[in-house]
Structure 1
């Protein structure tokens, strides 16, 4: 209730910034996760196997850090708001183009271009919000923002459930035009970050010099985000393939189980984001990650839809519970001069390192007679242990006043 009371004190522009960033990440994830539902169908059309098609996911993930760096630099130079609009328009266009791919190679190229645009959204949207709201609300809003990712997966699962059998995989990508509508909301209702406005009053820092100056923090965050991305992609990307190929479930069952999984993810992200204001960012991440370990057997090795759905629901409460703290944690640890670029770049570099997850898990499954459950369990178990250890020894910087920080720098 206290959180709701605090949210009511926000200005209309602050609330619009939160919704715009949340919906941007939701629709970005929606376009990304359309692909994971269609791996088998694309493999069938182009006469290849699942492992080969998962390379499209790999190329998307590889391109994301380049987009995060490029668009992040633009956001630090020209503002968060205009660059966010450009990014959303671009990834919408490339999602639609995916439906027109004449060959598997063309699809790989288009999905890489989509990943480049997608890479810019998270960091810019998160910095816009975190720089616009009071420090005491950052944890709560962080959980909401990050829940946009499973929200997008949830919407993709519903679209798959309702439309895939009618419109096929090409038609599914056409639905990706929806995010472009969000640009009008941003254009009409969202103001620029007050921190960026303050920083614009002083000479701009050299972003490369800032990266060199803070290389230890950058290295720490890249390793942290590598673990985080192995955890999320390792528990999500091949889940529909696991249900279809290993358990032979039909379209509706797969869509339903994926929806249940993402309801758990939304609950976990919001819940642990709010809790991080009380127990701290690091503790919230560690507690959520620990909860994933006992769920792995239920999630990966049971056979009935009921038990698999329960396992997926609980697993994603833990996985996205840890992730719910990421937007605020990365922004608080980021150097102020490059906050538009730094968090998203660190996040997406971790994505780059973890980008072989799809082919890796598919390869493990193929080597074990199609046992995707074993592949997912191995990646999840190892990653959770690494994430807990790395987080425990890392830094934390809570409730910094970003606006006051920018003003003091402007006067220096």
Structure 2
């Protein structure tokens, strides 16, 4: 995801710096953004299904159970797990979208940074995100999923003042401090996110592991979608002279999202090291606790 965001930042700079004026607009970016969807054809044709999914499909066909029936059975038999994961994913999506989506707007609308500067800072932030997600995801195997997420969030909170422009170092321009803050904060944000794919799959019921994580994630994404509008509204209300105060809005929302992710993660279970190929009742939310 962050690799795509990094590429998008570079495409943004290309379009607005080198395309003629009639084409330098959001419509051109939208058309270019559709092109990667063509990769679906390659993936669908060449990437095999996982052995776990194939095993589940064989069992469902043998039992005469449709995919929707299996999903409903999994949800109705584990309602607290389902609700917990949706709320957790809502908090995570508030964290990622709340620290990424309005950041270029903050750079341009409040700080009046141009296309090139916005591209450079955004690209640096996404490089940090890629590195952070990779490292925290890797070390979560040693530290435990919940511990890795909580550590990333704690460190991320420390980075908020530098990332949001609230911390201004004497005799040093924000053009130098913001890229550092953006790199470090996204390192921690996506460090926490780097644990999510495996953690979410480990918490998921074995019989719908191919569907449950994506379903819960997208519902969380849906519920978190309003955070961008809320941030923009708060920034406008806190601003002066028609200049929005994204420094305060981004800082408040990111702090809240970090804290929410930490609390929800701590309240959840650690399922590191479970065996995915088991019988349906082997993987339950109430019995998957393992030492972190």
Q: TM-score range by the shorter chain?
A: 0.7 to 0.9
RMSD: 1.8
Return the match for 2:93 from 229, 247, 251: 229
Q: C-alpha displacement at 1:162, in angstroms?
A: 1.3
Give the conservation status (yes or no) of the 8 Å contact 2:206–2:278. Answer: no
Kindly name which structure, 1 or 2, has the bigger radius of gyration based on alpha carbons: 2
Gaps of at least 5 residues in structure 1 are: 1-148
Work out whether 1:356 is the aligned partner of 2:258: no
Q: Distance in 2 between matches of 1:364 and 1:187?
A: 43
Give the conservation status (yes or no) of the 8 Å contact 1:164–1:172. Answer: no
The secondary structure found in structure 2 opposite 1:377 is: helix
Work out whether 1:174 is the aligned partner of 2:38: no
Question: Higher helix proportion, which one?
Answer: 1
Return the match for 2:213 from 333, 343, 347: 343
1:134-181 Cα deviation digits (max 9, x unpaired): xxxxxxxxxxxxxxx111111110001111241322111121243234
Q: Distance in 1 between matches of 2:177 and 2:274?
A: 43
Q: C-alpha displacement at 1:224, in angstroms?
A: 1.0
Give the conservation status (yes or no) of the 8 Å contact 1:230–1:354. Answer: yes
1:352-399 Cα deviation digits (max 9, x unpaired): 221111110011111111101110000011121121122112112122
1:21-42 Cα deviation digits (max 9, x unpaired): xxxxxxxxxxxxxxxxxxxxxx
Q: Distance in 1 between matches of 2:99 and 2:37?
A: 29
Return the match for 2:162 from 277, 285, 298: 298
> TM-score w.r.t. structure 1 length?
0.60
> TM-score w.r.t. structure 2 length?
0.84
Alignment of structure 1 residues 9-158 onto 2, 5 Å: 149-158=1-10
Alignment of structure 1 residues 361-400 onto 2, 5 Å: 361-369=231-239, 370-400=244-274
Q: Distance in 2 between matches of 1:393 and 1:170?
A: 44
The secondary structure found in structure 2 opposite 1:402 is: coil
Work out whether 1:163 is the aligned partner of 2:15: yes
Q: C-alpha displacement at 1:209, in angstroms?
A: 2.3
